[in-house]
């Protein structure tokens, strides 16, 4: 990213702020464009990352629903990290077309504008809820994934597009863990189902994996990190040793367990040491053998028939003690540690 013009959509969210900090710490971009529709969050972010004349940071108010604004903001941009989305499962169930306009139409707007402006690389952020979706949010993210991957069919080598799919980000906005911490004093915790499991990743790990994908992408791949799972009840136990659980029932569109790679995806999935790559159902324009060989020393091989990557059958589960350590690290509760 040295000397490049980098654009982050939805950049005032949890991921965007961490990505901006990481890029500025590790690289020397020519410009780092913060694009979002929330002027208050941009004002707050400007305190940490000022847009002074000697800084590469630039702020653009805009919405990915507005293609004309995207065309203007993407002039001379080299790399896009697409993080903008409406992400609340409940919100999506009750406001379906609003979520479609942002997650699906907005993504297509970004793709169209990026191709027009000859952007080199686009990495879109996805979610485990896009694999075999049972709710509208997951369905819109699956559509967004398909739009990004399929765009490689008509861009040629000029613009390459790929996707990164990962699980729940620990401590991000909307995460259940901050809500559980609020219930810690009373010791009463609401859970939807005691059997529930989830994939988890820290915010910094998510940013690092996306930046890895920016460097490693050839176009059309979906990158999936190998990350741990947790049991919802273990998270509660990590926060309170003797919790009083109130079971409220699964919410509309919610799953007991999440998937990141389905058995159907497995036909086109390559495994590496620390991640998987799901290839498009149609053969990519580049050589798969060369793709795997150039990933040395981490050479990729196809997964076995019938493989799936599910949060409940994942061989890597976090223990209660490991969860305590992560929650203390990620949510800053060291003054009153678990």
What DSSP line would sit under 211-235, residue for residue? Answer: HHHHHH--SS-EEEE---EEEHHHH
Closest C-alpha to 84, from 145, 33, 35: 35
Catalytic machinery residues: 129
Q: What is the Cα–Cα distance from 78 to 2, expressed in whole angstroms?
A: 11
CA–centroid distance for 112 within its chain = 21
Q: 242 and 190 in contact (C-beta within 8 Å)?
A: no
| Lookup result for tokens 């203390």 | 328
| Lookup result for tokens 């994942």 | 314
Q: What is the Cα–Cα distance from 257 to 234, expressed in whole angstroms?
A: 15
Structure token digits, residue 232 = 């919802």
**5-9 vs 309-310, strand pairing mode:** unpaired
Q: What is the Cα–Cα distance from 250 to 266, expressed in whole angstroms?
A: 28
Q: What is the Cα–Cα distance from 109 to 266, expressed in whole angstroms?
A: 30
Q: What is the Cα–Cα distance from 238 to 337, expressed in whole angstroms?
A: 11
Q: What is the Cα–Cα distance from 235 to 157, expressed in whole angstroms?
A: 45
Using the Cα atoms of residue 316, residue 318, residue 319 and residue 322 in order, give the sign of their dihedral. Answer: positive
CA–centroid distance for 149 within its chain = 16
């Amino acid at each position: 990213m040295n000397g490049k013009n980098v654009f982050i959509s939805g950049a005032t969210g949890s991921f965007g702020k961490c990505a901006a900090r990481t890029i500025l710490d590790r690289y020397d971009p020519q410009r780092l464009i913060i694009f979002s529709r929330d002027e208050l969050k941009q004002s707050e972010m400007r305190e940490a990352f000022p847009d002074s004349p000697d800084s590469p940071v630039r702020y653009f108010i805009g919405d990915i629903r507005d293609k004309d604004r995207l065309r203007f903001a993407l002039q001379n941009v080299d790399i896009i990290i697409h993080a903008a989305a409406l992400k609340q499962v409940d919100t999506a169930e009750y406001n379906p077309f609003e979520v479609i306009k942002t997650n699906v139409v907005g993504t297509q707007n970004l793709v169209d504008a990026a191709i027009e402006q000859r952007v080199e690389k686009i990495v879109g952020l996805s979610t485990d809820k896009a694999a075999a979706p049972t709710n509208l949010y997951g369905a819109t993210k699956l559509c967004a994934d398909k739009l990004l991957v399929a765009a490689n069919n008509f861009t040629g080598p000029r613009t390459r597009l790929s996707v990164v799919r990962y699980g729940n980000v620990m401590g991000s906005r909307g995460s259940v863990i901050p809500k559980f911490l609020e219930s810690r004093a009373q010791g009463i915790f609401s859970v939807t189902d005691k059997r529930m499991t989830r994939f988890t990743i820290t915010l910094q790990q998510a940013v690092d994996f996306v930046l890895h994908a920016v460097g490693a992408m050839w176009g059309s791949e979906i990158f999936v990190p190998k990350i741990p799972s947790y049991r919802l009840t273990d998270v509660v136990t990590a926060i309170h040793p003797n919790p009083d659980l109130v079971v409220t029932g699964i919410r509309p569109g919610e799953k007991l367990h999440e998937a990141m790679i389905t058995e159907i995806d497995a036909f086109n999935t390559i495994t590496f040491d620390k991640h998987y790559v799901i290839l498009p159902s149609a053969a990519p324009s580049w050589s798969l053998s060369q793709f795997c060989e150039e990933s040395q020393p981490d050479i990729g091989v196809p997964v076995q028939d019938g493989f799936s990557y599910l949060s409940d059958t994942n061989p890597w589960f976090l223990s209660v003690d490991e969860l305590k350590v992560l929650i203390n690290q990620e949510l800053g509760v060291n003054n009153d540690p678990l």
